[in-house]
Structure 1
Amino acid sequence: MDDYLIDDDNIPLGRRSVLPGEGFFTPDSFDEAQAEKEAREALAGADRVVVADPDADGLGCVALLRVAFGEAALLPAGPHEIAEALEYVAEFGEPDLEVFVCDLCPDSESDIEALPAVAERATSVRWFDHHQWDDDLVRSVEEYADLTVGDSEEVCTTDVALAELDYTFDDRYADLAAVTRDHDLWLREDPRSDDIADYAYWADPEEYIDTVVEHAADLPPEVESFLEEQRVEKEALIEKAIERAEFEAIGEWTVGVTYGRCSQNEVAEAMREEGADASVIVKPAGSASIRGTDSFERCHEVAGQVNGGGHPKAAGCKPDIYDDMLDYAHHWTTRGAITKQVILDAFRNLPEEDEEGVETDR
């Protein structure tokens, strides 16, 4: 493929907003080879490694570990990359390695098949999280790791790490955890939370970690300038997604749904202001973000029906409906029509709740 066709600098914003980024068009085999190379390099000679989601919450945990211990290699892994990351640790990790897994929740036993091998190689395995866990997976992980799962409605994983690590942290790191929680739990009470979330998304993970280790949640002026520049395009993409928003009544709820390459939280907030109890933002790469409100706290239940999971007010998923590139082409040209329908059907399929919030049969 001609690089020109997928170079964001050459694509008008209106068209760019309905297409995935150029990384989408890289074959998985290439990405896997690159990921293995980077994992091997990160693990070489490391006494301590952190497998973490490379968002603000996961990276916040890495920052705390480096403050506490001085050294901790990062092995970034998204929610669907847990299995691969654990396999890398088992294969390339040094003997007697200390292993931490942060801000990641397995979806199935297949995600943790390598955990016994990791535990055999490591001196210790500690797992910090705050998502909604299946009881069977809790028992499986607890056979090999010291697992701490915080209340997903009260804390983020950085909170969990702050509480569980045997180290006296400066107050500014408690502040970092609070600001991270404000974003991750979609509380939106501290304006700094958007800054750290955006910075974690746009910056290299190591850059983000170094910055918050030094400055915690009060980012320095040069970072603020960087964010201001990046937000020019961010705001334009948000506006495109908001323009495409539609609203559908499903039972007692109004569900806003839209499509586009955008920052989902701001788009969800705009739909909430227009009356949405829940919002669905479908992405060009095929995944979707689901955001709730005080009147809808079942996002994780919706996502759980369509190959995903998360929290009551914030969840993500990627429906298993893409068999080939023609399916993706249809996805882009119809602005995610099938994905939208599958997720809206998941809203319709939610069990009814009684007045105490207990699920009942329909």
Structure 2
Amino acid sequence: MYDELIDSGELPIARKSVIPGTGFFLPDTLEEDLEDEQTAAALEGADVAVVADPDADGLACVALIREAYDDVRNVPEPDDEDDDADETADDEPAADAVDDADEAAVALAAGEAEAPLEEPEPTPHSVALIPASPHDVEDALARVAEYGEDGIDLFVCDLAPDRYEYVEDELDAALETASGVAWYDHHQWGDDVAQSVRDAGVELVVGDSDEECSADVVYRSLEYDFAPMYEELAAVTRDHDLWLREDPRSDDLADYAYWSDPAAYVEVVREYGADLPDWVGEFLEERRVEKQALIDQAVGRSELREIGGYTVGITYGRCSQNEVAEAMREQGADASVIVKPAGSASIRGTDEFQLCHEVAGKVNGGGHPKAAGCKPDIYDDMLDYANHWVTRGAVTKQVILNAFEEVVEDAVDADDGAADTAADEA
């Protein structure tokens, strides 16, 4: 296949909006081999490994742990960052700044990342960053077990396995290599999964997903006296991760985490905290021109559906889902679905609808009551994907709308059952 066929950098916005990024078309075997090489390089000589989701929340966790371990700072120079931006401007469109860990993980598993194969950090860290998603956290654990030094400290941050058996063997192997494993998260865990992880010998701390982000959990769990800027970094990260939208800096953090190299993001927020420097602002401003154009494309093809007394907005496109969901909310949507070209989808709720995680759970996903992500298991071959692109996600939309109907019906039945019980007791 010619490279230009999978490189969407030069495409008009209207066409770029409806097809996946370059990462979608890379073979899994190629990615796995490169991830092995990158993990081995990152762990060489490292005393600590941090397996984390590479969104703003997960990377803030890495920043906090590196600070607590007094790890060396490798702050990128503005000129270096500008050069990187210039070199990749045509190759890495501002497609999708994600804020929810599960959703980001689904996007990575779906191959939405435009340039998913990053080079290892140039200067080795004693605290190594190992990016992962809930869908491949077991692979990251296995790599730490294989390439990590005996006695290494292991942290897992901003990740939640759906079932313990998904990570059981790999976690056991990691525990044999590591001196100890601490797992910090804020997603909704099943009681049986959490207990099994603890029984395996892991220090598991799970924060309230309505009140804390994972960076909050790390900040309060580590026995370290952080400077005030790190408490502020956790707070601003929480503002976007929980979709509070009270601090304008949180959008900058989320966008910069998505558009920059994870290693660069960690070092920049260690140096500057939540107040990103001017050169980062200029970098974001340039990228947001295309981001807004992709948002406009998705909003323009959105539609509203009525499901069990709720208005559900639904659309398709490679875009920043939060702004698109907000636009549909302003049009009257109680919940919104943004289907992506790579096959995954973002689900956003409001105060009126707080069952997004239950909808996602029915279609191979998960998340929070007001923010979740999924990728329905309906793609058997490339012909299914071709149909997905041509029809603008028609099948995926219907599958998710069906899940909405099931969740709403279940909620109504539960309310009716509770009312009947109350009446009987009265």
TM-score range, shorter chain: over 0.9
- The answer to whether the 8 Å contact 1:353/1:360 transfers is no
Q: Partner of 2:190 in structure 1?
A: 134
Q: CA deviation at 1:140?
A: 1.2
Q: CA deviation at 1:139?
A: 1.1
Q: CA deviation at 1:13?
A: 1.2
Matches within 5 A, 1:1-362: 1-71=1-71, 72-113=127-168, 114-143=170-199, 144-350=201-407, 351-353=410-412
- TM-score calculated relative to the size of structure 2: 0.83
Q: CA deviation at 1:109?
A: 2.6
In the alignment, residue 411 of structure 2 is paired with which amino acid? E
Q: Deviations over 1:164-193 (max 9, x none)?
A: 010111111111111111100011111111
- The answer to whether the 8 Å contact 1:18/1:335 transfers is yes
- The answer to whether the 8 Å contact 1:96/1:123 transfers is yes
Distance 1:259 1:124, change over 3 A: same
Higher RCO structure (Cα 8 Å, ≥6 apart): 2
Q: SS of the residue aligned with 1:352? A: helix
User: 2-side partners of 1:298 and 1:150: how far apart?
Assistant: 19
- The answer to whether the 8 Å contact 1:256/1:279 transfers is yes
Q: CA deviation at 1:250?
A: 0.6
Count residues with an aligned counterpart.
361
Distance 1:167 1:242, change over 3 A: same
Give runs of ≥4 in structure 1 deviating > 3 Å. 353-361
User: 2-side partners of 1:27 and 1:348: how far apart?
Assistant: 35
Q: CA deviation at 1:110?
A: 3.6
Q: SS of the residue aligned with 1:10? A: coil
User: 2-side partners of 1:354 and 1:218: how far apart?
Assistant: 48
Q: Deviations over 1:22-81 (max 9, x none)?
A: 111111111111111111111122110000000000000000001111231100002211
User: 2-side partners of 1:109 and 1:335: how far apart?
Assistant: 35
In the alignment, residue 270 of structure 1 is paired with which amino acid? A
User: 1-side partners of 2:386 and 2:271: how far apart?
Assistant: 45
In the alignment, residue 124 of structure 1 is paired with which amino acid? G
User: 2-side partners of 1:9 and 1:301: how far apart?
Assistant: 36
Q: CA deviation at 1:356?
A: 7.9
Q: CA RMSD in A?
A: 1.6
Distance 1:145 1:44, change over 3 A: same
- The answer to whether the 8 Å contact 1:83/1:110 transfers is no
Q: CA deviation at 1:311?
A: 0.7
- The answer to whether the 8 Å contact 2:164/2:197 transfers is no
In the alignment, residue 59 of structure 1 is paired with which amino acid? L
Q: SS of the residue aligned with 1:147? A: strand
- TM-score calculated relative to the size of structure 1: 0.97
User: 1-side partners of 2:365 and 2:402: how far apart?
Assistant: 15
User: 1-side partners of 2:156 and 2:46: how far apart?
Assistant: 15
Distance 1:158 1:164, change over 3 A: same
In the alignment, residue 49 of structure 2 is paired with which amino acid? V
Which stretches in structure 2 are left out of the alignment for 5+ residues?
Answer: 72-126, 421-426
User: 2-side partners of 1:69 and 1:97: how far apart?
Assistant: 13
In the alignment, residue 352 of structure 1 is paired with which amino acid? A
Q: SS of the residue aligned with 2:366? A: strand
Most deviating of 2-11 and 192-201: 2-11
